[in-house]
Amino acid sequence: MTQARNGTRIVVTGMGAVTPVGIGVKAAWEAVCAGRNGIHRIQGFDPEPYGSQMAGEVLDFEPTDYVDRKQVSRTARFTQFALAATQEAMDQSGLPIDDSNRDLVGVIVGSGIGGLKVTEEATHTLAERGPRRLSPFTVPMILADIAAGEVAMRFGASGPNFALVSACATGAHAIGEAAEIIRRGDAVACIAGGSEASITPLAVGAFSSMRALSQRNDDPEHASRPFDAGRDGFVVAEACAILILEDYEHAQRRSAPILAEVAGYGASADAYHLTAPEPTGRGARRAMVRALEKAGAGPDEVDYVNAHGTSTPMNDAAETSAIKQVLGERAHRIPVSSTKSMTGHALGAAGAMESVFSVMAIVDGRVPPTINYRDPDPECDLDYVPEGARLVRPRLVLNNSFGFGGHNACLAFRALEPGS
């Protein structure tokens, strides 16, 4: 196995997830492999006046299972998600954090929008009741970095701690940058991922106004249809996913469960348009190529691509073009799937949630399907796994994430060979 350039290898030793298709990694993974859909008519508020009226909501989340009852009103939903997912990931990893190592455990948890619901509610309070009625917890609940801060306080991790914000690439960038922090020696382990809870009137209304969302309101379960000729926009979702990353030798010394290696990470910018991807996929291609280079791998080693696959006309075509540029002749023989067909698009949490699914593909030997792929688009002509989960046993997986502003990230996950 090719090692990182400085000899440091980064591995995943634990994962946690809160998703529209299930709470907990096992529940979410089984759901996407079964092709179960987590998209439905919005229940958090009356969506009738909105152009898009559906979302991937987390319906069965009980914050008091993870946050002290007194603290629930003082923490935003995206922070509650992060605490829940981190607890699951830490339980699996068994990573000890105490006085002997706390300064070497980092927390890099991003959010694309942060506590937007708190912002909306505070704005109403200000307008209707005046400034003296604003909660003193308003500012910390709004901030996108507060989930990283809360996680650090809960688990006692006092190493590098911050939030990344790169729209829909946030979760992948957080994981990639956490790996780089470990690689350069500033930490031996990092809690990394993304969290988003932005199914609010403002977010849904604003995304609808820019015509980014599907308006297939009469058929929510079939609204998210990545790569299909009938795709008409993404479906907004909420979620959180957390990975525990460690220096390989550190994980070995404590006999930690090793799920996969973070073998490579690439980042780039389209430098093209505020919201639209560069049509040829050149920025996405650079991120994918860089991830493979840092993994010491060639395109012939890629066994599966977990696509960004948003179900928007421009993104899916540009990503397909990028994949073909990177994989060449093998592109049509490699399974490529978008789990957003089931979860919807969780914005800043998407790249982290899809990293969990990428690692699980390695662990479980299956790749999840792209559901709702019915009418092929000539511009999107790859193997999108429409028939259901497939036994593949991938050794090297690429996970793509792209965001408004032209932000691109690609993570390469690799199976550890026996005895490595």
Return the active site residues. 168, 308, 345
User: What CA–CA distance (Å, rounded) separates 376 from 44?
Assistant: 34
**Token pair for residue 82?**
């992060």
Q: Which residues, 6+ apart, have CB-to-CB distance to 147 below 8 Å?
A: 78, 79, 81, 82, 83, 109, 111, 163, 195
What angle is formed at CA 377 by the lines to CA 375 and CA 57, rounded to 5 degrees?
65
Q: What does DSSP say about strands 54-55 and 40-41: parallel, antiparallel, or unpaired? A: antiparallel
By C-alpha distance, which of 211, 198, 231 is closest to 349? 198
DSSP string, 25-77: HHHHHHHHHTT----EE--SS--TTSS--EEB---S--GGGTS-HHHHTTS-H
User: What CA–CA distance (Å, rounded) separates 71 from 279?
Assistant: 46
Rg of the chain taking only CA atoms, in angstroms: 20
**Token pair for residue 101?**
């190592």
Element (H, E) at 150: helix 146-155
Q: What does DSSP say about strands 336-337 and 304-306: parallel, antiparallel, or unpaired? A: parallel
Residue 213, beta-bridge partner list: 234
User: What CA–CA distance (Å, rounded) separates 165 from 109?
Assistant: 9
Could you count the other beta carbons within 10 Å of the beta carbon of residue 288?
Answer: 29
User: What CA–CA distance (Å, rounded) separates 197 from 199?
Assistant: 6
Could you count the other beta carbons within 10 Å of the beta carbon of residue 123?
Answer: 12
Q: In 83-168, where do the E strands start and end? A: 105-110, 161-162
